[in-house]
Amino acid sequence: MVKAKRKVLAICFTASAMLSAAGAVSANSELLKMQMNANDWVMPNGNYASTRYSELDQINSKNVNDLKVAWTFSTGVLRGHEGGPLVIGDTMYIHSPFPNKVFALDLNDDGRIIWKYEPRQDTSVIPVMCCDTVNRGVAYGDGKILLSQADTTLVALDAKTGKKIWSVKNGDPSKGETSTAAPMVVKDKVFVGISGGEFGVRGSITAYNLNDGKLAWRAYSMGPDSDTLLDPKKTTHLGKPVGKDSGINTWKGDQWKIGGGATWGWYSYDPDLNLMYYGSGNPSTWNPVQRPGDNRWSMTIFARDVDTGIAKWVYQMTPHDEWDYDGINEMILVDKEIKGKMRKALVHFDRNGFGYTMDRATGELLVAEKYDPAVNWATHVDMKTGRPQVVDKYSTQHNGEDFNTTGICPAALGSKDQQPASYSPRTKLFYVPTNHVCMDYEPFQVSYTAGQPYVGATLSMYPAPGSDHLGNFIAWDADKGKIVWSNPEPFSVWSGALSTAGDVVFYGTLEGYLKAVDAKSGKELYKFKTPSGIIGNVNTYMHNGKQYIAVLSGLGGWAGIGMAAGLTDPSAGLGAVGAYASLSNYTQLGGTLTVFELPN
């Protein structure tokens, strides 16, 4: 039987906690209720907990092999299609990379276009977008569709008509500030981050009033306490107060003003604690010699009060980053037993190759283990200090310039980049799309000019030693910090995963396959090749009593930047072009939504 009618996502939070939180909020108690309806897909990652899990089970491990294409839709845009569609009632909302089109599609008529929004943006924003012109999706709240355009314009559209209600500029592309993230709506606010760490921007998260777009608060990744919204006595790092101006005192001089720490990833929310969770990216520049110190608070998990922006706790995963291991990957919130004790847990698969399990109420570090066996830049994480123990051989911190450090694992794109994982409360496992890629890294001296690249390193990437593949799709036990099973893939798995009550896990591949595997064993149950490589996130919904699977295909993103941007130099695309050169033998560019169903 289909378990679709208004089911509580037990893996998010208890029903009582959600209802009590709903009673305390104003404009968007609706989303607390809407996320519990498995028929819809109302947030980019399915729910506030970012579990990417659905209670739908009409499609299951017994019949998934019978899937067929129900209908398709072309976005009319090339380049990389990250993110995925929203489904609210009879309408699906999908987006494209630059120029960031938004379509409202009629599910009663195989995707007939109800309305289309196509912003006019200056094409000069394209050269300052790192790693392709991607966008990770739209958000919904209070009858509005929220889009963060490449040029940092945040737009609120009427969900029924597509008419613009308000817009606000969140950054300045002339300084390298752009936007690729999907916004998040909580209560009466919409939250949006900023991209541009490779251009020396200073990262921030900003809350705007959902009703009119007015600024509510902004918190920077580094700077004085008044900018970072850290309380020197109450905000903690591994249980200890961060102290006064912690976002300045590990930087040399005023380097924090161009310090990076961009916030272009995913955002999660716990309504019981009233905290939002997100990560910050690499410090600028990529040459570590030029920025001595821990470079706080780049590479950091933040837990912030959504009403005030004040951080309750922070945790820096990679102090003084030397490898571009951005900390922006999703924070998955689950209530589960960890080390014999029930915890309000946060699970995060970082670019640096460590899978972290933390207490999301206190910021206590519970587990930190490697989720790819190739990881070698650090031996382990010290559980008392939280610091990774760096292997000197793989450090890129050299006093002499132009020293090429070889054999570093993972590569800069991490053991996992932004492609979100999924959690199933049925198996209690996390399903993680990963990169099995290593690199050579050669820093060089670079000076800062606003709006110009501020990288300072040359990279080359290749498969991990002894491997003939660039990716794995794994099942992870976050209590033990162990891989349960692992499926190798020829290329990195750059698609977001989906797990369901049918004990099936879905993901896409760079060659273009949608795959379904058994949630318990990892056995492949189904695959279908879509028109282009998949870097989009798989979702599912129910319409007129029938379950559907939907995914955007369209090769691009960092892994596919060579084909997307027509690059041929192996070191181009910040080192990715050479590693993925053979992709052109398997797929081509294109932007297509493919919707799957079971036969009648």
Residues marked as catalytic: 324
Backbone angles phi, psi at 228, to 5 degrees: -85, -15
Q: Report residue 281 as tokens.
A: 């990216």
Largest Cα–Cα distance in the chain? 67
Among 141, 168, 164, which Cα is nearest to 26's?
141
Beta bridge partners of 73: 593
Count Cβ atoms below 10 Å from residue 254 Cβ, excluding itself: 10
| Beta-carbon-side half-sphere exposure of residue 356 (alpha carbons within 13 Å) | 31
CB-neighbour burial class of residue 207 (10 A; exposed 0-12, middle 13-18, buried 19+): buried
Site of tokens 């460590």: 354
* R_g of the chain, CA atoms, integer Å: 22
Site of tokens 């993925």: 580
CB-neighbour burial class of residue 214 (10 A; exposed 0-12, middle 13-18, buried 19+): exposed
Distances in Å between the alpha carbon of 167 and those of 193, 223, 588? 15, 27, 35
CA–CA distance, 309 with 207 (Å, rounded to integer): 8
Q: Report residue 250 as tokens.
A: 């590990």
First and final CA of the chain: distance in angstroms? 16
Beta bridge partners of 329: none
Q: Report residue 538 as tokens.
A: 């798989």
Beta bridge partners of 343: 336
Q: Which amino acid, one-letter code, is at 145?
A: I
What residues contact 409, with CB distance under 8 A and at least 6 apart?
353, 372, 374, 375, 376, 377, 394, 437, 438, 439, 464, 465
Helix (H) / strand (E) containing 503: none
> Can you say how many angstroms the Cα of residue 466 is from the centroid of all Cα atoms in its chain?
29
Cα angle: 219, vertex 225, 229; to 5 degrees: 35
Q: Report residue 288 as tokens.
A: 């570590």
Count Cβ atoms below 10 Å from residue 238 Cβ, excluding itself: 18
Q: Report residue 529 as tokens.
A: 């090749």
Distances in Å between the alpha carbon of 307 and those of 188, 192, 208, 245? 9, 14, 11, 22
Pairing of strands 341-349, 331-338: antiparallel
CA–CA distance, 92 with 86 (Å, rounded to integer): 6
Helix (H) / strand (E) containing 566: none
CA–CA distance, 351 with 318 (Å, rounded to integer): 10
Distances in Å between the alpha carbon of 559 and those of 81, 171, 535? 12, 26, 9
